[in-house]
Each structure stands twice: as C-alpha cells, then as structure tokens.
Amino acid sequence: MEKTICELFAGVGGFRLGFDKAESGWKTVWFSQWEPGAKTQWANQCYVQHFGNSEDMNGEIHTCEDISTVDKKTIPNHTLLVGGFPCQDYSVAQSLSSSKGIEGKKGVLWWQIRDTIEVKRPAFCIFENVDRLLKSPASQRGRDFGIILSCLNELGYSVEWRVVNAAEYGAAQRRRRVFIFAYRNDTEYANEMKEYDGVVLINEDGFMAKAFPIEPVDKCFEGELVSDLLEMTNKFSFDFKSGGVMRNGKIYTNNVVPVQEEPILLGDILQSNVDESFYITTEKMSKWTYLKGAKKINRVSKTGHEYIFSEGPIAFPDSWDKPGRTMLTSESTLNRSTHIVSDPGTGRLRTLTPIEAERLQGFDDDWTNSGMPNRMRFFCMGNALVVPMITRMTKVLDDIIDSEQ
C-alpha cells in the first residue's frame, strides 16, 4: 500500500513535518490551509515555503481556499487523511433539501472531513483536537464526539482515541490533546483487530497502545452509538474516557495512565541574552504581577446575580525544571497564560522568543521565520500540534502499512 497523505487544516505543517522526521517514505499528495477572514494567509505561506504547493487531480491549486468550496472528487487519492480541526458544535439539523434528511451546521469543519472521507475512502485517518471534545457540549456531555464516531461508523470505519499529554511522552510541553485514529473496516489491519477485545486493544495491541504505552487497565466501560444522527443530536450522551475504541457502533473506554518518559524541561529550550524587545519593562511589571497572582473579584452576571470570581496564582516566572505549560494563540501578549521566564544569560524576566515557542512544539528553529510578524509566529505555534507525537504514531503506522496488501 502506498504511503500517501492528504492533510486538511494543515497550519504550518506540523503533521507533515512529523511524518518527514520518521524518514519512512511518506508523501503528501495534497494539503489545504486557509484562515477565514485573514488578509494575509501566513500559515499557508509558511507551509508552501517549506514544502511547495499541491495540485489537485485537474492540475489546479486550491490549497489556500475555503475547503467547503473544494470539490472533494478533485482531491488526489490517498492512503491516509490527517488534520487538526476546531472543537465546535457538531450537531445536525433536519433539512428537506438533504438527501439524507440531515445536514451539519454551516461552517463546522468536521463535515468537510466527513465529506472527504465519503468521497476518497482513505484506508486510515489521524485527527487531532482539544481534549474537551470528549466532554462537549457541557449540557449533553459526549454528544459531539459521539456524532463524530457515528459518522465514521456509518462510513465503515473503526476508531481508537487517546488523550495525550505530550510532556508525559518526552516532549517539552504539558499539552493535552486527543488523537483519533480511524481505519476502514475492509483493511488487513481491521481484520487483525477483530481478534482482540476492547481491553486488549486499549492496553497493548491497539494503535494508540503501541504509540503511547500505558499502565494496564482491567476493564472497559461500554456503550453504544445511535445510528440516526438527528437522534444523536437530541438525545445521546456518554462519558467518554481518555482512551477508547469504537467498532461496529460499540464503545469501549476507560481512563488510562501513561508509562511516562523523561520530558524536555523548559530550561533546556531557552535562549540566552535575547533581543531587548522580549524583556518585561518596569512600567508593565505591576500588570504582569497582578495577572499572574491570586485574586478574588466581585462580579455581576447577566441575570443580576452577584458572585465572586476567584483564581489561584500561576508560576511567575515559569520554572526551568518543568516542561512548559500549554501554549495558546495569545502567547507573548500581556496575558495570564503567557510564559514568563528568567533569561539564562541576563537573569531578567521576559516572554518567550519565537524560536522557543517553536521548540515547545517540537518544530525546527526558525520554522515560522518566513516573513510573518512575531505576533503571527506565536499565533501559528499556539494553533500547532506537538510534532514528536506525530512521529511516534508514524512509526506504528509504518508497520501497519507494511502488512497491508
């Protein structure tokens, strides 16, 4: 089986870089990256600078366009579909114009993934999302992830998922994300996996267990999907755990404990004697101290209810002897979540540099140094995934592909 990839919502190329670092012959045949409302498509430009552009089956370039306008039939055939897509409301609505009686909410990118799978039928898929996907929406916990699983089940795929804290598997950032691995039920791999029950798959023989080893679990919580997506929207809820399997509409899940590896520490990725623009000025020090400190604030809700908003202190500066915290798109701005470090050379407090942000995510130094302003470099890294986690999964997938006809 060919090692070909289609990458949706590609960002600055984290998935592709992760596969390239495995050095096992994967080829990306098409990608798509488009930021709605952005005058300059910085992420797409960065991706193209590193990897070049992609043509569709008609020899045309549509990689920097709204994916909903792309005819999925023109996307080249591929073995693996990958992408990191936003956590949104995945519910469906009735539609008289829809041949299936339902339609996904407008602008929700999951449905573009679903449509691509339906048309191109890749043997395998790997997706990444924030871990709250498993619990959303708060009013009907698990519904959104259940809809995704139900779509994949309807299309003839089985699924494994795992919430991964990258630092627990040797990375420099305590970033928790859910990875979703789907495989078509007519593959050799699917036939092999039929021999194992949910506990065995989660513990040792499944895709995620091999990529991200865990301490054994002794049981699974079980559930069942509803075949009708409209009914899923209105009634379905389920307590999805951090690891799990879905096949033939059956759910097997449990919380898992990683076999932890030594992480990269924040101190290991820091530069010394950086440019003066990154240091905290005397004028802003009091604001930073306030944002990072504990506080209790009297507030009034929209309904007139008075309450006290409280939050605990956050490390100021961030400790060198721990991995970095989760990096957000607001990194480097005057914000509570921004990392503040003591510069190894000067001892003065400062924000991270763009290169340090790239190192937190496992990218090469100056990966985003493609003409984009520093603010956008931080934004792109806040949106990115941790590259070494992709490389780990690539190595497992290599063995699977080698066994396919």
Q: For the chain, which residues make up each domain, given as ranges? A: 4-261+386-403, 266-372
What pLDDT score was predicted for residue 8?
Answer: 97
Residue 397, number of CB atoms within 10 A of its CB = 25
Would you call 220 a catalytic residue per the annotation?
no
What pLDDT score was predicted for residue 101?
Answer: 40
Rounded Cα–Cα distance for residues 152 and 185 (Å):
10
pLDDT in tens, 326-363: 999 999 999 999 999 999 999 999 999 999 999 999 99
Say if residue 260's pLDDT is above 90: yes
Q: Could you tell me the two tokens for 61?
A: 């370039």
Rounded Cα–Cα distance for residues 404 and 3 (Å):
11
What pLDDT score was predicted for residue 92?
Answer: 66
Of 64, 87, 151, 380, the active-site residue reads 87
What pLDDT score was predicted for residue 304?
Answer: 87
Say if residue 405's pLDDT is above 90: no
The per-residue pLDDT of the chain, averaged, comes to 93
pLDDT in tens, 90-135: 776 644 344 344 455 655 789 999 999 999 999 999 999 999 999 9
Question: What dihedral do alpha carbons 74, 78, 84, 90 form, nearest 10°?
Answer: 60
pLDDT band at residue 246, thresholds of 50, 70 and 90?
very high
What pLDDT score was predicted for residue 94?
Answer: 47
Instruction: Look at residue 163 and give its three-state secondary structure.
Output: strand
Say if residue 10's pLDDT is above 50: yes
Q: Write down the H helix ranges in 41-159.
A: 42-51, 110-120, 143-154
How far, in Å, are 130, 171, 193, 212, 269 from residue 323 at the CA level? 19, 8, 35, 18, 10
Rounded Cα–Cα distance for residues 320 and 181 (Å):
34
Instruction: Look at residue 60 and give its three-state secondary structure.
Output: coil
pLDDT in tens, 175-202: 999 999 999 999 999 999 999 999 999 9
CB 233 within 8 A of CB 92: yes
Is 0.85 surpassed by the pTM of this model? yes
Pick the CATH number of 4-261+386-403 from 2.30.30.40, 3.40.47.10, 3.40.50.150, 3.60.20.10: 3.40.50.150
pLDDT in tens, 39-91: 999 999 999 999 999 999 999 999 999 999 999 999 999 999 999 987 777 77
What pLDDT score was predicted for residue 104?
Answer: 57
What pLDDT score was predicted for residue 209?
Answer: 98
How far, in Å, are 12, 101, 127, 229, 358 from residue 177 at the CA level? 18, 33, 10, 25, 17
pLDDT band at residue 236, thresholds of 50, 70 and 90?
very high
Say if residue 17's pLDDT is above 80: yes
Mean pLDDT for the stretch of residues 18-43: 96
> Which DSSP state fits 259?
-
What pLDDT score was predicted for residue 106?
Answer: 54
Residue environment code for 294-325, b if the CB has 16+ CB neighbours within 10 A, otherwise e: eeeeeeeeeeeeeeeeeeeeeeebbeeeebbb
Q: Write down the H helix ranges in 256-367.
A: 266-269, 282-292, 354-360
Say if residue 251's pLDDT is above 50: yes
Q: What is the widest separation between alpha-carbon atoms in the chain?
A: 66
Say if residue 228's pLDDT is above 90: no
What pLDDT score was predicted for residue 199?
Answer: 97
Mean pLDDT for the stretch of residues 388-397: 98
Residue 376, number of CB atoms within 10 A of its CB = 20
